[in-house]
Amino acid sequence: MRADDYLHVRGESRYVDDLPEPEGLLHGALFHSPVAHGRLLGLDTSRALAAPGVHGIFTASDIPGENQIGPIVRDEPLLADGEVHHVGQPIAFVVADTVARARAAAALVEARIEEQPGIFDPREAQAAGALIIPSRTIEIGEVDEAWSRCTTIVEGRVDSAGQEHLYLETQASMSEPLEGGRLRIHAGTQGPTAVQRAGSGVLGLPMSAIEVEVQRLGGAFGGKEDQATPWAIMCALATHALRRPVKYSLDRSEDMVVTGKRHPYSSDYRLGIDAAGKLLALEVTYFQNAGSAADLSPAILTRSLFHGTGCYHVPNARITAHSCRTNLTPFTAFRGFGAPQGIFVMESAMAHVAEASGMDRVDLQERNLLRDGDVLPFGMSMERAHAVRSFGEAKQRFDFEGARARVDEFNATNKLKKRGLSLMPACFGISFTNRILNQAGALVHIYTDGSVHVATGAVEMGQGVSEKLRAIACGTLGVPTELVTIASTRTTTVANTSATAASAGADLNGRATELACQELRDRLEGLEGGAALTWQELVSLGYSSRVNLSAQAHYATPKLWYDKELEQGRPFAYHVFGTALTEVEVDCLRGTYRIESVRIVHDAGKSLAPDVDRGQVEGALMQGIGWMTVEELCYSDQGQLLSKDLASYKIPDLNASPAEVETHFLEDCDNPEAVLHSKGIGEPPLLYGIGTYFAIREAARAFRAEKQWCYSAPLSPERLMMFLHGEVARVPVTVYG
């Protein structure tokens, strides 16, 4: 069976748009709200219904079940009913016999909307009491008392922007009718069960009547965890009514307008240290811009809270978080899932207090790194902490002192060009913060020819989970890779799955696969005379002995617990650590910069696939660099997305990439808490991109040491130019007007 990489290179990999089109296929198009907030007084679909090729137009009144798809808070209708709350909110779904006709008809739909003022700033929303959920606070130690023991205290504000997922494959789904009123949905989703569950509620059908299948995704990065659901359910709604297959693929600009992105945060901090440079007290408040509906914002906010102290031990800390409802598209999961926003605040506070106290920032970082036994603000004690080791190894392996001497010499001899260095430590907890999601199943068949078929709930989206599952099955059964097939993800094969997210896809589904394969191996090895046989002979003996050659296994991550009333617990199975050394050069006349190098020491446990993991580290790094530097969401003052195509939204290209990237995996870092002693890989390395921000800051301050720094990201060349030559002013994370 060909692996995904072979199919990708040959262009043979199938995505939703590549599936054979069933007979009678219809195509969908969306009519969405043109305004950010208002009362929906009426909808005229008569002209659209009369357009050529139109088979139906579906609005809230056509939903047979519940008009609701909110996964955590039930506050998100599939189709707007009575009110609209953001530009791009779905109002009507038009179905026609071609894509062009569906889009043309959607343009003929007319809505009467009484426009109302919108709120776009999270601080304004919080002040108005517009919250998604009640605010939360986690706390450790005696924060109020600790301030008196601090010799240096700083206060400030940090703003971090949103970020567009920009997956290669846009959102796409296709549904088809089955006999008996059942449906099959081919969904481009990270969460097949989430689509199945939402479809059941909207259509008023049992979940067993809805099959969801995912072959693979062309990228997701969190943007298809929850936000793939509405497009799949719209197709299913039309199929259910018309008994015809329906397909809907968003074009790029439409995808960017109607889907959510990484959450922008605005935050306040207060940080204090003693004379020896030890952190004593921290107080942080996050204002999360959640958009108009909850989506996954409560869970994302939880992870921000849990990562509020970054990679450091703070004995007295109070962290408060507000999830603020605004009139923008609901923001959603994105690689890091709220942790990067919290960690960026902590690193900003560290830079500020180092400068205020006259301490070397790297020394301050190093003496406060997490160690075994340190207790985090939510009560979890650190185990097998590799923060100190990875930081020290990065300094030694990449000759930090030599690099700093070269940078200092360069800066002393160059007036208009300056260089900067940063060390960025990473600490990231692995597990879904919602304990119930930390479970997975696997179904493994051994066929009589010796080949093996593995089915799990893991969705392959370019991260290499299929290769890791194949390696686990091969290693456990002792068979060559060519005998193992990894099935597409189907809710009919493995039910009640969690989304492939939280860097836990291989952890959960891999462990379930290992358990199922081990059960099969134990059965075969228990056969008399089996030890001397080849694999094929052993399988034949098992079949002739009427041994069950199929096994189903279930895995639930142990030791996890959390008490929301006390805000204490052990939400993570383990933590991932690492450190990145970044060097940049800034042209201080033009405000441009070049990333000279990023060198990383990363804790991958015992990697299941080193090449895959190295690719994940480097890909996440680039996404982190983009978030911190050039990627900027711009909105009008009416809440309309202005950066809605690749002409107006920039991501790092080859010229913006580091000239050198080096990744070294820590050795002897086995992890007993995960499958085959591995560690989750997808999200933690994004944190290394934050180091680029602080390296640029160091270079800029070498040119303008007298100016006060404003902790606002992305640090685009325009913003850097304003620091170097303009007035110091805070630029809103989301630009209006």
Q: What DSSP string describes 410-462?
A: HHHH-SSEEEEEEEEEEEEEES-SSGGG-EEEEEEEE-TTS-EEEEESPPPSS
Q: DSSP string covering 320-384, please?
A: EEEEEE-SSPPP---TTTTHHHHHHHHHHHHHHHHHHHT--HHHHHHHTB--TT-B-TTSPBP-S
Closest CA to 155 of 285, 359, 305, 349: 349
| CA separation for the pair 596, 275 (Å, rounded) | 35
pLDDT tens column, 326-345? 999 999 999 999 999 999 99
In DSSP terms, 656 is beta-bridged to none
pLDDT tens column, 165-200? 999 999 999 999 999 999 999 999 999 999 999 999
In Å, how far are 252, 297, 325, 437 from 304, measured between CA atoms? Answer: 30, 10, 17, 18
| CA separation for the pair 81, 520 (Å, rounded) | 53
pLDDT tens column, 496-523? 999 999 999 999 999 999 999 999 999 9
Domains 265-432+569-725 and 439-556 alike in fold = yes
Q: Which of 169, 225, 347, 683 is catalytic?
A: 683
Is 60 exceeded by the pLDDT of residue 734? no
Is 80 exceeded by the pLDDT of residue 736? no
pLDDT of residue 5: 80
Residues 6+ apart with CB under 8 A from 402: none
Mean pLDDT of the chain: 96
Is 50 exceeded by the pLDDT of residue 540? yes
DSSP 40: E
- How many CB atoms are closer than 10 A to CB 67? 18
Give mean pLDDT, residues 237-241: 98
pLDDT of residue 1: 54
- How many CB atoms are closer than 10 A to CB 134? 8
3-state secondary structure 271-285: EEECCCCCEEEEEEE
Please determine, looking at this structure, whether the domain spanning 265-432+569-725 carries the CATH number 2.60.40.10: no
pLDDT of residue 6: 83
Q: Residue 726 — pLDDT band, cuts 50, 70, 90? A: confident
Give yes or no for a contact between 688 and 619, defined as CB atoms under 8 angstroms apart.
no
pLDDT tens column, 145-165? 999 999 999 999 999 999 999
Is 50 exceeded by the pLDDT of residue 729? no
| CA separation for the pair 401, 96 (Å, rounded) | 65
Question: 717 by DSSP, 3-state: which?
Answer: helix
- The ranges assigned to domains in the chain are 4-117+165-258, 265-432+569-725, 439-556
pLDDT of residue 189: 98
Is 80 exceeded by the pLDDT of residue 580? yes
- CB crowding 503-540: b at 16 or more within 10 Å, else e: bbbbbbbbbbbbbbbebbbebbeeeeebeeeebeebbe
Q: Among 263-267, 392-396, 629-633, 653-657, where is mean pLDDT lowest?
A: 653-657
Residues 6+ apart with CB under 8 A from 138: 305, 306, 308, 317, 318, 319, 377, 378, 567
pLDDT of residue 631: 97
The architecture (CATH level 2) of 4-117+165-258 comes to: Alpha-Beta Complex (3.90)
3-state secondary structure 579-627: EEEEEEEEECCCCEEEEEEEEEEECCECCCCHHHHHHHHHHHHHHHHHH
Please determine, looking at this structure, whether the domain spanning 439-556 carries the CATH number 3.30.365.10: yes
Q: Residue 8 — pLDDT band, cuts 50, 70, 90? A: confident
pLDDT tens column, 294-311? 999 999 999 999 999 999
pLDDT of residue 3: 74
Q: What is the phi/psi pair of residue 497, to 5°?
A: -85, 155
pLDDT of residue 655: 87
Quote the pTM value. 0.97
Q: How far apart are the first and last CA of the chain?
A: 54
pLDDT of residue 629: 97
Is 50 exceeded by the pLDDT of residue 438? yes
pLDDT of residue 7: 87
pLDDT of residue 728: 52
Amino acid identity for residue 513 in this structure: T
Q: Which tokens go with 641?
A: 């997305």
| CA separation for the pair 49, 112 (Å, rounded) | 17
pLDDT tens column, 72-102? 999 999 999 999 999 999 999 999 999 999 9
pLDDT > 70 fraction of the chain, expressed in percent and rounded: 98
Known catalytic membership, residue 683: yes
Question: 51 by DSSP, 3-state: which?
Answer: coil
